[in-house]
């Protein structure tokens, strides 16, 4: 069952070009020793763009369309159902194994992203975050907070548990106010355009500050797994 699922996911991935954490060579990990010797931290971030694309597209100029609110809002309940469906179908029968779950997180995040994209909600940027962990006697807490425009932006969340593992999936949808236009303009004209477009960054920033509200999602887990003797 899981092999079929993996093949299906692999086929989905080949069809859609997208940046994801699958390409581990693109993600840089920086080891930094903590200043205090009893804590360590590591950092990883997505590499610079252009290294991923096979067909690099020219950078687009953003122009205002003066449309501040979305015509169609993000369907939170539909996405809840998608999350429920995907997590159950991929993880219902699975037992926690390090290698399997590592691959599964990447696969599931891509599958969820593909299905949310299929909803074709215009002008929304999508972020899918999934965590899969082993059920054991540990305690954990997952929380998130967002600085955004709460009238347009929203999130959807679902958690799943079976006898050996748990999974938490979050989908954040952020409305994008500007639509990109393809840049066919010569370089010097683009320079002038980008100069004049720099100032519009300032007003939206203030708007974002005054309109932004914070929503916290918290999932608290008390994990009591069955011990295997």
Residues 84-123 interacting with another protein (rule: CB under 8 A): 96, 98, 101-102, 104-106, 108-110, 112-113, 116-117
Give the one residue of 8, 72, 95, 125 binding another protein; rule: CB under 8 A: 125
- Give, as ranges, the residues between 30 and 69 that touch another protein (CB under 8 A): 34, 36, 38-46, 49, 52-53, 59-60
Answer for which of 7, 8, 10, 18 binds another protein (CB under 8 A) is 18
Least distance (Å) between residue 120 CB and another protein = 12
**Measuring CA to CA, how many Å separate 75 from each of 88, 172, 210?**
20, 12, 25
Pairing of strands 216-222, 212-213: unpaired
Is there binding between residue 227 and another protein (CB under 8 A)?
no
Q: Is 130 in the site for another protein (CB under 8 A)?
A: yes
| CA proximity to 228, closest of 175, 132, 164 | 164
Residues 133-192 that bind another protein (CB under 8 A): 133-149, 153, 170, 172, 174, 176-177, 180, 187, 190-191
Write out the two tokens for 65. Answer: 């369309």
Q: Using CB under 8 A, count the residues that bind another protein.
A: 82
Give residues with Cβ within 8 angstroms of 155, minimum separation 6. Answer: 76, 144, 146, 170, 171, 172, 173, 215, 217
Tell how far CA 209 is from the center of its chain: 23
CB of 218 to another protein, least distance (A): 7
Measured from the Cβ of residue 21, the count of other Cβ atoms closer than 10 Å reads 13
């Amino acid at each position: 069952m899981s092999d079929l699922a993996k093949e299906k996911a692999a086929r989905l991935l080949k069809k859609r070009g997208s940046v994801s954490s699958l390409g581990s060579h693109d993600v840089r990990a920086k080891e930094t020793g903590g200043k205090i010797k009893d804590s360590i931290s590591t950092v990883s971030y997505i590499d610079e763009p252009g290294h991923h694309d096979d067909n690099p597209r020219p950078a687009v100029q953003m122009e205002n369309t003066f449309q501040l609110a979305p015509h169609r809002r993000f369907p939170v309940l539909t996405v809840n159902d998608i999350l429920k469906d995907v997590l159950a179908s991929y993880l219902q029968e699975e037992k926690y194994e390090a290698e399997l779950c590592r691959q599964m997180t990447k696969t599931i995040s891509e599958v969820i992203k593909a299905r949310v994209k299929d909803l074709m909600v215009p002008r929304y940027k999508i972020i899918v975050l999934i965590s899969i962990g082993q059920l054991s006697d540990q305690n954990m807490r997952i929380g998130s907070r967002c600085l955004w425009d709460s009238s347009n932006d929203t999130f959807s969340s679902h958690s799943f548990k079976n006898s050996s593992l748990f999974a938490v999936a979050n989908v954040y949808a952020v409305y994008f106010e500007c639509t990109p236009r393809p840049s066919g303009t010569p370089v010097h004209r683009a320079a002038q355009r980008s100069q004049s477009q720099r100032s519009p960054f300032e007003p939206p920033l203030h708007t974002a500050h005054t309109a932004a509200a914070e929503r916290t999602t918290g999932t608290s887990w008390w994990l009591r797994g069955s011990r295997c003797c």
